[in-house]
Amino acid sequence: MKIKQLLLLLSLLALHIFSCASLTSPSGGPDDKTGPEVLASTPASKSININTGTRISFTFSEWISNKKTNCISIFPPIAYSIKIHSNKLEIYPQEKLRDSTTYHVIITSTLLDLHGNPISPYNLIFSTGPSLDSGSIRGCIIDPTKKSAQYRIALFTPEDLADSGVCGTPSYLLQTDTTGKFNFANLKVGSYQAIAYIDANNDAHLQASTESVFTPEDSLIHIDQHTPTITFFPSVFDTSFPRITNLKAINNRILSAAWNREYDSLVFSPPTIKIERTNPVEKLQNVKYVLLNNSHSFMLLTDAPMDIAPYRVISSTVRSFDNHNFIDTILFNGNNIIDTTFPTLITKPDTSSVINLTPEIKLIWSKPVTATSHLFLKDQTGDSVPALISKGYSDTTVINPVPRLHPSTVYSIIFSKDHFRDLYGNTIFSNDSSDTADTVMVKTIDIDSIASSLQGTAPCLSHSETRVWFFATFVSPDIKYLTADSAGTFRFDSIAAGKGHVGYFMDKNKNRIPDKGRIYPWHSPEPYFSATDTVEARARWDVEGVSVSICDPCGFSAIDSISADTVDSKAQ
């Protein structure tokens, strides 16, 4: 009898030990790389007439981790708590649901199984009334960085925006699939501002300046049963004032500094800057602000020389959409050195590498300079080709020959010492008593490596004055050949042969690059599309009749559906 009692006691002890064991991944066997799936839900998907006091629960195909409790979003928003146990997740609303309302309970990809595999985003839809909302929206994110991310789609009504703007709680917060596509149904019909972003900190709110953001072309979209496909493009959302950093006096008349972020002229007025000596207080007159090209850096030039003494810079900036004025004050020590240093070339191209026939020739200088006269390229026969030179001060000068260069040709660019000048007035250094300061030699691509032309179209497109086509080879993706649109067709002449991609962007401001949009103040992004087709520009050939698949940028099929993991209604 005592033996039986002892065995029973040991059995109960073992049961207690195993029941209290830690929730860990089992060891051994093949690696589990499959995420959990929803097997059942309460209420069932697409249910109607659900009691307003219902609880919400999910049963999964495997045990799930209880480490991430921010994996649920409910819209319209309600207060709730959740409980995770084994393969079940239960949601306890802390208030009654609204009558006659369609609810979306979204499980995001932050929900993991015990092996760390994420669930595909899942959307449970049900209604406390006799029908579901009928609005729908589908589309995709066009992200040139090709990030592997699942983006959030936030939909704000005008009332939502009035409360706390795009950083507040939206009417809906949805999630794309792993390719950036989305297809959402049963939304409330109405007008919304739509924002897509990468929720880097998983807090379900857009963070200005720190999270990548995307917007459609229109500030408001109308959602109904037949909403057109929506595409989102890179945009900017940063309303914080730029601040001055790295300020120092580099000589007795010039200060160098930088903004801590891009100085956006569409958001902020040109800065008003003054410099004054602090003890005794003495204002320096005629301070010139010079923003360097394609840079956050700038220079301040004073008429009067400084001394070795304490000074301060006072900068005033006005934000355009609310007229708020920000004043920044920075102390620095003056400098009495007279600048007699000549600007010199640090980096320049040479004939060891070839350039295309419509190149951007870049010269890197030891200090910011500006061009003071025109430049020409000369070939071996002495024929000259005029060139456009980037304007303004910069440590990088860009030279664009006009017109097109000849293939298999060596060109020289000869600089006199007066061709370039720094902000202090110093000209470039000359090695001898002649007027020549430097010579740059470049060689164009060989004629046997040039495609005579590449012509084609996208069947769905008509003529657009703002459309600019581009072609980029896989070998040199950063070099893009550009050409204007002609009735929805493109033609590239004398380009480097090779395989690559064709695409286009809508160049509304004629600056030859696709510009990002802005949320505040609203500014539409310039649409940018790259076809997935591989196109070959063949050496010494005229390639004609190319048809590129760019009419459906989101890649939706003709049957009007996608096998996306944004919405899954299998659970019943």
Is pTM beyond 0.85? Reply is: no
By the 8 A CB rule, do 471 and 501 touch?
Answer: yes
Which pairing describes strands 436-444 and 354-355: parallel, antiparallel, or unpaired? parallel
Report domain 244-333's class. Answer: mainly beta
Q: Identity (one letter) of the amino acid at 466?
A: T
Per-residue confidence (pLDDT) for residue 435, from 0 to 100: 77
Q: Cβ–Cβ contacts within 10 Å for residue 85, how many?
A: 11
Residue 565 CA to residue 181 CA, distance in Å, equals 9
Per-residue confidence (pLDDT) for residue 433, from 0 to 100: 67
Per-residue confidence (pLDDT) for residue 69, from 0 to 100: 66
Token readout for 50 is 């659900």
Domain 38-229 shares a fold with domain 345-445:
yes
Question: What φ, ψ does residue 518 adopt, rounded to 5°?
Answer: -135, 145
Task: Label residue 9 by pLDDT band (50, 70, 90).
Answer: low
Domain locations in the chain as residue ranges:
38-229, 244-333, 345-445, 448-547
Residue 254 CA to residue 338 CA, distance in Å, equals 10
Percent pLDDT > 90 in the chain is: 71
Residue 448's closest CA among 412, 488, 408, 413?
408
Q: Right CATH number for 448-547 from 1.10.10, 2.40.160, 3.40.50, 2.60.40?
A: 2.60.40
H helices, E strands: number in the chain: 2, 41
Per-residue confidence (pLDDT) for residue 17, from 0 to 100: 41
State the number of CA atoms in the 13 A half-sphere of 282 facing the CB: 9
How far apart, in Å, do the first and last CA atoms of the chain sit? 52
pLDDT digits 0-9 by tens, 183-196: 999 999 999 999 99
Q: Identity (one letter) of the amino acid at 243?
A: R
Report domain 345-445's class. Answer: mainly beta
pLDDT digits 0-9 by tens, 343-399: 999 998 887 889 999 999 999 999 999 999 999 999 999 999 999 999 999 999 999
pLDDT digits 0-9 by tens, 474-494: 998 888 999 999 999 999 999
Instruction: Tell me the CATH number for domain 38-229.
Output: 2.60.40.1220
H or E segment and range at residue 18 = helix 2-19
